[in-house]
Structure 1
């Protein structure tokens, strides 16, 4: 059997051919869920060290296999170590749909769940429960794009700047990953891959349009050869939203340029810019969600119907009386900008030794009147990384050695203003200010040894020194005076993260892997300003949260039509950072502390199947399922009311926000030949189980099941100029289910009797739930020149 193998990364483009008597199954072992077979390992014999993701297509008539091998350059945050569970989604998985946000890119990946954040593209992406207790952003993950960091030194990353049309795919490395990715990679890392200019080879213009006033106009320019590769993408998306006060307009620009200066030197330039302008509704209580999920009739707080949420704003913007105000009246929203510029130099000392050095500048400027206050200020960060890779041998066995260093620094200065009821997000008096910095300096190394044709091992160690310093000023205002309180917080942390993994490939049909990984995340600056007594003051005794995780996985590929991957994980967490009550009548109310111990365990399952490979080669089934069981094993929580405080043991309770069961199943079809060639579509069912919203495990977010349908047409080349035109039509939430797309944690309540409040009380606690979209229709066209 003959095939063609194409390697592509930031380093080079090359084509070669090989002879193989093995079926396709032997070539796909570990590619999606192991994610880390080195190119020098079996079954590949290429000497250059690359990690691989393999996509395949089969021409039944000619019996020729086309295999795309996508490599990631060693180092510069592109590492995907052997044995680490890694799932990948490629352009074909999300290209034939509206693809409005990162949620569409990761929908089919086991271990990954998505909740709605604060804005149309602000998805809370959770890997093994990483963002379970967050209402916005991507937390406890390290995010990169084309190897450049998208997570700032304080652990903050947001999905607003991601328009799926710009990307070739995404790789999600799961489990503790601080050995290679440093601080905040406590649940893993995500790398987004933009499209190659050589693959675009021209100009593409496209538009998506549909329900709730959605319009997304985008353009992509691409060109490339052996000397350079250039991709430039721009989009402008706007819509009215399906919830009152959720209209938005977001623009994104994304560029990557690779230049081969010489045979041994390459430069990669990266640029991303995003402007998010969106109005924001308020999150609802469970009872409000059930009575008025889309917040209709809520524009005027004085005459609002049942199920509406409002904020109480200071009438004079400084002190005294409050007035209930709707989100529309207050002008709640987010008006943010993010700009990232990066440059990487890659140098080959010899065919086996490579050096990477890169610098990234990242500015995040926020203007967020999201509740009773407006949060305003810039966050400037600088990141330098350098690493060295040698692909050598021990005797006749390949050994890849890697060592790297990194330094990142962020300075920030933000102001918090009271909002007034005058409308238009009018700012009142200054509420507080905060100025500070955080830096992280890290070293890491890894030894990657294939000590036999069937066995592959990796050991590594990483360490980070972190420094956090900040000053917060509080303004306490009254009719007579304004009192200022300054709080200074300075703290250093040092953390180590060893790891080891082993991969065993006994036959061409089976691959097994096991891994022990560790990770850490330091406390954020905002957690240092309230003491355990509930007073504004220094809280720098906090510790880093850490994790120790074990993975055991298997991939079974008995034939070209079946591929099954399963991974079980068990992770032990120490000193998780949580917020709880500080006691009775305390000025600040709650503070951050370390929950001593918890355990995260679960199962991830992914499967693809071509049931009628011979008679119906275009039909395929795809399944993704995640089971998560995460509990506190040592944690006592304090609840308080106006007169007393009580402590409650949470040992054995499920951690709120973690979805126990998440399933995505698709039936796909693409006509491979004949007069209907290029016609395809899918039917998708997404099911999410109920999950707890509070530490006492009293109130649950409701479960839901959604049905989505899609049809598309890519005319074949024989159609002439029509071949350049792509079109699709999609129906989301076909059965028009009312469901909770986002549900954040709520705090439990202590009754005057000293008992915990029951479900009826908690169901009226606001600030938790955003409804998901009702039935919606979308279409799109794209033309290539």
Structure 2
């Protein structure tokens, strides 16, 4: 495989050299990408597809969930998981996953890799100022779990200039309320910013009320003309009445789109997010730049789960388990980069210590079933404590060289030394005696990720680019422990799990037409995933396989992405994102949906929840310097809900509209806006998961998936006063 990749790389680079140098092209300064604190738009010498969402677009969308912003980026889908929780996928990689495993997307906030259990994460939405999406296998920059790419988020930070303050208020459907205040001050030796936000909603779905309170700030101290240090602190408290309400099957979803109270597996979720970041930067006279980032993240979760029907009416009325989770991430990233006229390089080191501790207690006596359908008694007072720790040392770098004024070559590599440790302690009752059991395991991985790429400037307005990059995902030790616990179901032998790997081949073009009247980026890609980590017999076979995890198959994702952006200062401007995606299993173990049920051959099938076509058009019309009207049209084609491709779900489209008017009051700016989301009141299927024959009719059809229906028409109105 390595020889093939090297040969392909040589062909790719050689193809560009045959073009020759453009004599009339003036080369820009070569720059390298910092993974620590910079989050700028992709430069002309960027060899991968990178999309950038700026602060103005984020402020206009005013997202309640991150997926509302990511819809404007081709190749990205963000499945709604409830309130402000989303599961992000890029180019359909690992789209078959919807629980327990990660999605292959690294989440980076202010340079810090965020621990995202099962691909889901929470953050302070009100403090986001820009988002950069790096697509393609990105282990060369972010290591483990960046198989499909990375979402790089930057929050508000101090800046020079005049002092600035703002207050805002918004009200909308379902008793939604959003209040925010910001302050930015600048002095000769320091700058500071502060953001306070409170938002709440009764929610569209049954029992979906939530509220968020956040306070964040940054203080930058200028040590001298070439160095500064910044301290960032973020404190966020959240409450969610229920994770997500849903319905079973299309008939129930159409009749009762708000879902049922019994559909939420988790309830009364209290979240405490604490973030502390210290950043030091130093610029040197020779063009070098030193970046040091030290961080400490603490996330605490408290919720009840496992609803039980104690009165026999078929509806879960009592929750059987209480869980506390504590996630702590601390570490440091050190980078040095130097940018010269025709050569640039970056070297970096990352240390990470990530701890995930949880404790779960059984609150009531109740009965469940094992993998074979046999009854299992659960007793109040039973406890389970887990410790899942990871320590990481990573070394990475980038070399970028201008071979000619038009042709640039780039090479990245990263080496990770990662030790994962897992311990589970249980206190169980067998009906007669209480027993204590302890299981422990650890594993150390030494993995490499790389990228080789090139760019060629055809002229001052057009750049061609190409790259080959790799990614990987290590199996979690808790899965290995589960395999050991269930070894009697695997002939007494623990199931080994290999590292899941991806490789991306990509070519594209970016540039502008008519003097930046229209900026474009067009890319064609193929991503091959090998040794997919998942449940034996398929993703939805947790009960069928007894939780056994294995390398279940391979997949190939191919597609075309197009991004068009017109000049935002024009009277009419737009942002268009289009994706064509074909994601198929090229190899897979037979899938079994029910215990002792038939097996299905899914080789050649499409990955679930991967529509072939996704389209988003965000248009702004400026009727005057004070008034603008914004419309967004989003559409996606039909897709399969399951790996067997037996259940097809319809595509959908919706239209969002808003008007924003700016005036001056008391010498300061007042902006008023009105938004109408989902203008035509389309109750489309927002999130669909298939887990088996839930309807109990002995067949697998459209009456079996778990469906979350999108809210219909929503109204919002708000004011922003800047002074």
TM-score range, shorter chain: 0.7 to 0.9
Q: Tell whether 2:512 aligns with 1:557.
A: yes
Q: Which residue of 1 aligns with 2:557?
A: 600
Task: Answer whether contact 2:271 2:300 (CA < 8 A) is retained.
Answer: yes
Q: Which residue of 2 aligns with 1:438?
A: 390
What is the distance in 2 between the residues matched to 1:157 and 1:271?
24
Residue by residue over 1:717-746, the C-alpha shift from the partner in whole angstroms, topping out at 9 and shown as x without a partner, is xx4636411110011111111112222353
Task: Answer whether contact 1:384 1:408 (CA < 8 A) is retained.
Answer: yes
Out of 57, 75, 89, the residue aligned to residue 93 of structure 1 is 57
Task: Answer whether contact 1:568 1:604 (CA < 8 A) is retained.
Answer: yes
Q: Tell whether 2:630 aligns with 1:682.
A: yes
Q: Tell whether 2:337 aligns with 1:389.
A: yes
Matches within 5 A, 1:47-196: 49=31, 75=36, 82-117=46-81, 119-130=82-93, 132=95, 133-134=97-98, 139-147=103-111, 149-152=112-115, 158-163=120-125, 165-196=126-157
Task: Answer whether contact 1:124 1:137 (CA < 8 A) is retained.
Answer: no
Out of 297, 303, 308, the residue aligned to residue 368 of structure 1 is 303
Residue by residue over 1:656-712, the C-alpha shift from the partner in whole angstroms, topping out at 9 and shown as x without a partner, is 1323222111332124xxxx4210011221112222221111113332111111100
SS in 1 for 2:145: coil
What is the distance in 2 between the residues matched to 1:166 and 1:751?
46
What is the distance in 1 between the residues matched to 2:573 and 2:549?
48
Q: Which residue of 2 aligns with 1:258?
A: 220
Q: Tell whether 2:407 aligns with 1:466.
A: no
SS in 2 for 1:290: helix
SS in 2 for 1:96: helix
What is the distance in 1 between the residues matched to 2:551 and 2:35?
36
What is the distance in 1 between the residues matched to 2:543 and 2:147?
32
Worse-matched range after superposition: 168-177 or 256-265: 256-265
Matches within 5 A, 1:647-726: 647-671=599-623, 676-715=624-663, 719=664, 721=666, 723-726=668-671
Out of 702, 711, 714, the residue aligned to residue 773 of structure 1 is 711
| Cα deviation, residue 460, structure 1 | 1.4
What is the distance in 2 between the residues matched to 1:407 and 1:579?
31
Q: Which residue of 2 aligns with 1:415?
A: 359
TM normalised by structure 2 equals 0.84
What is the distance in 1 between the residues matched to 2:454 and 2:715?
47
What is the distance in 1 between the residues matched to 2:364 and 2:560?
49
Task: Answer whether contact 2:382 2:429 (CA < 8 A) is retained.
Answer: no
Root-mean-square deviation over aligned CA pairs: 3.3
Task: Answer whether contact 1:636 1:647 (CA < 8 A) is retained.
Answer: no
Residue by residue over 1:261-299, the C-alpha shift from the partner in whole angstroms, topping out at 9 and shown as x without a partner, is 02232212222222220111443322332331113xx55
Q: Tell whether 2:294 aligns with 1:332.
A: no
Task: Answer whether contact 2:687 2:709 (CA < 8 A) is retained.
Answer: yes
Change (3 A) 1:445 1:678: same
What is the distance in 2 between the residues matched to 1:504 and 1:585?
49
What is the distance in 2 between the residues matched to 1:106 and 1:231?
26
What is the distance in 2 between the residues matched to 1:511 and 1:331?
49
Q: Which residue of 2 aligns with 1:316?
A: none
Q: Which residue of 2 aligns with 1:544?
A: 499
| Cα deviation, residue 179, structure 1 | 0.7
Task: Answer whether contact 2:245 2:258 (CA < 8 A) is retained.
Answer: no
Out of 411, 429, 440, the residue aligned to residue 488 of structure 1 is 440
| Cα deviation, residue 363, structure 1 | 1.1
Change (3 A) 1:731 1:74: closer
Change (3 A) 1:738 1:202: same
Q: Which residue of 2 aligns with 1:618?
A: 571
Worse-matched range after superposition: 133-142 or 244-253: 133-142
| Cα deviation, residue 510, structure 1 | 1.6
What is the distance in 2 between the residues matched to 1:709 and 1:235?
24
Q: Which residue of 1 aligns with 2:176?
A: 214
Q: Tell whether 2:240 aligns with 1:275.
A: no
Change (3 A) 1:698 1:505: same
SS in 2 for 1:564: strand
Task: Answer whether contact 1:489 1:540 (CA < 8 A) is retained.
Answer: no
Out of 278, 281, 290, the residue aligned to residue 346 of structure 1 is 281
Change (3 A) 1:127 1:721: farther
What is the distance in 2 between the residues matched to 1:221 and 1:534?
61
Q: Which residue of 2 aligns with 1:764?
A: 704
Out of 443, 447, 457, the residue aligned to residue 409 of structure 2 is 457
SS in 1 for 2:395: strand
| Cα deviation, residue 410, structure 1 | 1.7
Task: Answer whether contact 2:195 2:215 (CA < 8 A) is retained.
Answer: yes
SS in 2 for 1:724: strand
| Cα deviation, residue 75, structure 1 | 4.9
| Cα deviation, residue 229, structure 1 | 3.1
| Cα deviation, residue 590, structure 1 | 3.1
What is the distance in 2 between the residues matched to 1:75 and 1:197?
17
What is the distance in 2 between the residues matched to 1:90 and 1:137?
30
Out of 671, 677, 681, the residue aligned to residue 736 of structure 1 is 681
Q: Which residue of 1 aligns with 2:247?
A: 284
Change (3 A) 1:721 1:180: same
What is the distance in 1 between the residues matched to 2:634 and 2:654?
5
What is the distance in 2 between the residues matched to 1:43 and 1:157?
43
Q: Which residue of 2 aligns with 1:303?
A: none
Change (3 A) 1:418 1:130: farther
Change (3 A) 1:102 1:50: same
Matches within 5 A, 1:240-255: 240-255=202-217
What is the distance in 2 between the residues matched to 1:157 and 1:629?
22
What is the distance in 2 between the residues matched to 1:109 and 1:581?
34
Task: Answer whether contact 1:128 1:187 (CA < 8 A) is retained.
Answer: yes
Q: Which residue of 1 aligns with 2:453?
A: 501
Change (3 A) 1:291 1:586: closer
TM normalised by structure 1 equals 0.78
| Cα deviation, residue 200, structure 1 | 7.8
| Cα deviation, residue 540, structure 1 | 6.8
What is the distance in 2 between the residues matched to 1:747 and 1:442?
41
Change (3 A) 1:283 1:526: farther
Task: Answer whether contact 2:219 2:231 (CA < 8 A) is retained.
Answer: yes
What is the distance in 1 between the residues matched to 2:38 and 2:480?
30
Query: What count of residue pairs does the alignment treat as equivalent?
Result: 663
Residue by residue over 1:470-506, the C-alpha shift from the partner in whole angstroms, topping out at 9 and shown as x without a partner, is 1223454343233444332221222111211111111
| Cα deviation, residue 545, structure 1 | 1.1
SS in 1 for 2:479: helix
| Cα deviation, residue 156, structure 1 | 6.4
Task: Answer whether contact 1:74 1:389 (CA < 8 A) is retained.
Answer: no
